[in-house]
Amino acid sequence: MAIPPYFIYLDTKIIGAVKQTITFFEHGVFPRENTIILVKKYKHKSAKIIERALNKASLNYHFVNAAYLDALKEGVIFYPFNAQSNCRAVANRNLTHIFITHGESNKITSVKPIVRIYDHVITAGNAGIDRLIAHKIFSQYDVEAGRIIPMGDTFIGKTGLDHTGKGIPAIFYVPTWEGGIEQENYSSLSYVGQVTNTLLLLSKHYQINEIVIRPHPNTGHRLQNYHQFLMDIVKTLLHKGLKVTLYKPHVGLTFSQAWKLRRNGGTLTSDLSKFYAIIGLCDISAIESQLLNENIFYYLFCSKAQKEYLISLKNSQYYKTNTLTFGEKLYFHHISKDDFYQLRNYMIEQNYLNIPLNQRIEQLLAKLNQL
């Protein structure tokens, strides 16, 4: 049977969203030769930046309008992000429409009612299914009908760290961005003092002075001071004598900022594989599923209300010991391996581990043909 053409639809002006999409090709999830990225056409300065990024990645793409989408005759169109124009795109019933998300998380953005518009929604595991049912986005009938399909770690992304234990041991801090609106702000970056104190205490506890920070690529997009919060954290850690490495592709420093960072002892890198994580530190975000998937134990920053929500979920024992509440005194509890793996197996379906990433899209379509 002939393989249908694949499309990925992007309605965004945020270059970070494009970079996240490019990683699907870098990891081999989508075949370059059979996949076209369809970017909604805007008269905006971001168009040139997006074009350069896609050209640099050697990907096939078109800038498109509604008429272009209407004219597509066949294929499968994948959506990494929700956007208003997605509602227009799904009107073309010649195509199969699949929402893949750009990661698996407990953010409120993962349960927006708009996901009902797609033919199918991909989750990493049972946690995603339960989340969609609990928020009345889908029903058990929808699950049985194949509307929601767990695909393990296919679309959750990777940290980029070494997994052999041969790299440089480090504490891995991965803050999320400030969100598109304040209600979607899960970032710890504004808690500069608490974050730096946490990293200093972890450094002392684990006898590790290497800190690796991989911020979200959208950091500072809505609130520019979040970029300064990040640099304030780095400055304090360097002043305390720690070694700090920033993930260069997600930082966007000017030449003078990069020079100043290096002058103060900081480092920039585009390759995290030289490090492995002794412990992780993150916010409520898709990074959590990456840490779980790569067996990296971690602590999680969140508000008191967010902690109560996490603990209310199934298989949530891990959250009773690994959460660090904003504005409260730090307590590091013993991390239970059993609780960690229980949460991992709930969040991420393990049956896909032996299937190569470059075969999973075909497996998905074969499953859909049987529905």
Contact 229, 361 (CB under 8 A): no
Contact 326, 301 (CB under 8 A): yes
Q: How many CA atoms lie within 13 A of 150 on its CB side?
A: 21
Nearest to 142 by CA among 111, 158, 126, 119: 119
Please calculate the CA angle 257-263-269 and round it to the nearest 5 degrees: 65
* Predicted pLDDT at 257: 87
- List strands edge to edge, sheet with 120-123: 60-64, 35-40, 6-10, 76-79, 96-99, 120-123, 148-150
Q: Partners of 243 in the beta sheet?
A: 210
Q: What pTM was computed for the model?
A: 0.95
Q: How many CA atoms lie within 13 A of 138 on its CB side?
A: 27
CATH class of this structure's domain 168-347 = alpha beta
Which tokens sit at 252?
A: 């966007």
- List strands edge to edge, sheet with 210-213: 267-269, 243-247, 210-213, 168-174, 275-283, 298-302, 323-325
* Predicted pLDDT at 3: 84
Fold observed for domain 6-156+350-369: Rossmann fold (3.40.50)
The domain ranges of the chain are 6-156+350-369, 168-347
Q: What are phi and psi of 295, to 5 degrees?
A: 55, 40
* Predicted pLDDT at 11: 97
> Tens place of pLDDT for every residue, the chain, 371 residues?
578 999 999 999 999 899 999 999 999 999 999 999 999 999 889 999 999 999 999 999 999 999 999 999 999 999 999 999 999 999 999 999 999 988 899 999 899 999 999 999 999 999 999 999 999 999 999 999 999 999 999 999 999 999 888 899 999 999 999 999 999 999 999 999 999 999 999 999 999 999 999 999 999 999 999 999 999 999 999 999 999 999 999 998 888 889 999 999 999 999 999 999 999 999 999 999 999 999 999 999 999 999 999 999 999 999 999 999 999 988 888 889 999 999 999 999 999 989 999 999 999 999 999 98
